[in-house]
Amino acid sequence: MLEDVKKKVDELFGFKTESYDTNMLLIFGEKEKIRDLLKFLKDFGFSYPHTISVVDYTPEGRGFEINYILEDIYIKKFVIVRIELSENNLAVPSVSDIFPALQPHEREAWEMFGVEFVGNPRLEVMLLPEWAEGTFPLRKSYQFKKHRKGTK
């Protein structure tokens, strides 16, 4: 099953793949084709979205990494689609119309990291208090003292 995905992704998109763990496949995607890739994976059977996991690698000079984690819930296999973003251009097309369940996950990633998901209808503060919008607490550059709420 994962072998088929591997072959197809190589044929259609030319992306590199790597087996991640037993039952998991890691696909190194590109930001421009992310929507096509996820649409293809959804049609292929990976219809159950788990989450979007963002990793901030700026202290290592690499920008940000976004992982889309999807599962084929009937055949019991996972794929992780990984794309790299540079620090200066933190925008990626939203997939919230392909996977509606990922919409709040994108919203959380935007709130915590400042990654803009272009096309997501609802990039509003969800977990943070309103005054903390734009502080991006899960970034490595976040400083507790600097971003504290101002006193009256």
Residues at the interface with other proteins (CB under 8 A): 20-24, 47-51, 53-56, 60, 67, 69, 73, 76, 78, 80, 99-105, 126-129, 137-138, 142
Nearer to other proteins by Cβ, of 32 and 141: the residue is: 141
In the complex, what is the shortest distance from the CB of residue 23 to other proteins, in angstroms, rounded to a whole number? 6
Nearer to other proteins by Cβ, of 11 and 21: the residue is: 21
In the complex, what is the shortest distance from the CB of residue 32 to other proteins, in angstroms, rounded to a whole number? 24
Strand 24-28 to 77-85 pairing: parallel
Measured torsion, CA atoms of residues 66, 50, 105, 41, in degrees rounded to the nearest 10: 60
Q: Among candidates 147, 129, 123, which has minimal Cα distance to 137?
A: 147
In the complex, what is the shortest distance from the CB of residue 13 to other proteins, in angstroms, rounded to a whole number? 22
CB 96 within 8 A of CB 120: yes
d(CA 78, CA 87): 28
Nearer to other proteins by Cβ, of 103 and 120: the residue is: 103
Nearer to other proteins by Cβ, of 12 and 131: the residue is: 131
